[in-house]
Amino acid sequence: MPGNAGDSLAVLTFHSISSEPGPTSIAPPTFRMQIEILAEAGFKSMGCQAFIDWREGRIDSTRRVLVTFDDGYADFATAALPILREHGFSAIVFVPTGKLGAREDWRGANRSKRPLMDWSTVAELARSGIEFGGHGITHADLTRLAPARRREEIAGSARDLEAHLGVRPRSFAAPYGRVSPETIADIAQHYEAAFGTRFDRARRTSDRFDVPRIEMHYFRNPRNWRAFLLGRQSYFYARRALRAVKSAALAARRVVD
């Protein structure tokens, strides 16, 4: 991937690995294809510390990716993790700590509510080497909250994870990827890095608390996925442009609302 060893890195975003409808679900056979092609191309995964080391210029990222999952769906443990481990990949999972053990119920959730992991599963996976990061407490849009509640969603998520796992989380992902300068400042007080939803490769110059990611829903075609990994970027650039237009339209609608 051009520039990967120097100033760019693919941070991959997944949500649910299931056959449920909707853009936040990827069917298990498709997920297997994505991971198998990644492995065949010689890529290996990295964790938060390696990401920070890369961003600070201490290591390169040749044939490395950062694999992330949002929301903490139960199928991460049952469907995604076996495939990841089969190919030697790790992941960071961002969880809404007040929802664990229940089902998704936030705005934009599937009509058929998908179950989330419970704390015992999260603790077991953490002991086995899976990293967990904050995703708020209630999966609220942080930019729409009063300052005190926004800060509690951010700090409380870290506090919950530390209480249950015995280690302070290092990373965060804002629900829906929505942040403001005030939100970013609050996140920076409690975490070492945070990841957003802007569709792009991460760069060493990216905002450390709003790092762009690659939404893997757009790479369900093996030809497009393999081409991206081999450095052929036409589909990626086209998708990035369309995603930017859609994001701008959604932002304008939120202002009107």
Count of H-run helices and E-run strands, the chain = 9, 11
* Contacts with 58 (C-beta within 8 Å, 6 or more apart), sequence order: none
Supply the range of the domain harboring residue 224.
8-232
Residue 163 lies in a domain: yes
> To 10 degrees, what angle do helices 147-165 and 119-127 make?
60
> To 10 degrees, what angle do helices 222-229 and 234-256 make?
100
Residue 38 lies in a domain: yes
Strand pairing report for 25-26 and 16-17: parallel
Q: Is the distance from CB of 84 to CB of 90 less than 8 angstroms? A: yes
Give the pLDDT band (50/70/90) at residue 251: low
* Contacts with 97 (C-beta within 8 Å, 6 or more apart), sequence order: 134, 135, 136, 137, 156, 157, 160, 161
Q: Give the Cα-Cα-Cα angle 69, 142, 106 (nearest 5 degrees).
A: 60
* Contacts with 159 (C-beta within 8 Å, 6 or more apart), sequence order: none
Q: Is the distance from CB of 53 to CB of 93 less than 8 angstroms? A: no
CA distance 56 to 235: 30
> Phi and psi (nearest 5°) for 192?
-95, -20
Q: What is the CATH number of the domain that holds 85?
A: 3.20.20.370
Q: Is the distance from CB of 97 to CB of 160 less than 8 angstroms? A: yes
Distances (CA, A) of 227 to 212, 216, 230, 236: 20, 14, 5, 9
Residue 123 lies in a domain: yes
Q: How confident is the model at residue 219, as a pLDDT?
A: 97
Residue 35 lies in a domain: yes
Residue 221 lies in a domain: yes
- The pTM assigned to this predicted structure is 0.94
- Quick: pLDDT tens for 188-239: 999 999 999 999 999 999 999 999 999 999 999 999 999 999 999 899 999 9
The structure tokens 């996976």 sit at 125
Q: How confident is the model at residue 256, as a pLDDT?
A: 47
The DSSP secondary-structure symbol of 89 reads -
- Quick: pLDDT tens for 97-151: 999 999 999 999 999 999 999 999 999 999 999 999 999 999 999 999 999 999 9
Residue 237 lies in a domain: no
Residue 2 lies in a domain: no
In 3D space, the residue among 118, 114, 195 whose CA is nearest the CA of residue 164 turns out to be 118
Residue 251 lies in a domain: no
- Quick: pLDDT tens for 153-197: 999 999 999 999 999 999 999 999 999 999 999 999 999 999 999
For 148: left if phi > 0, alpha if psi spans -120 to 50, otherwise beta; the answer is: alpha
pLDDT at 34 over 90: yes
Residue type, 249: A
Q: Is the distance from CB of 231 to CB of 4 less than 8 angstroms? A: no
For 57: left if phi > 0, alpha if psi spans -120 to 50, otherwise beta; the answer is: left
Count up the domains in the chain and report the number. Answer: 1
Q: Give the Cα-Cα-Cα angle 144, 191, 248 (nearest 5 degrees).
A: 40
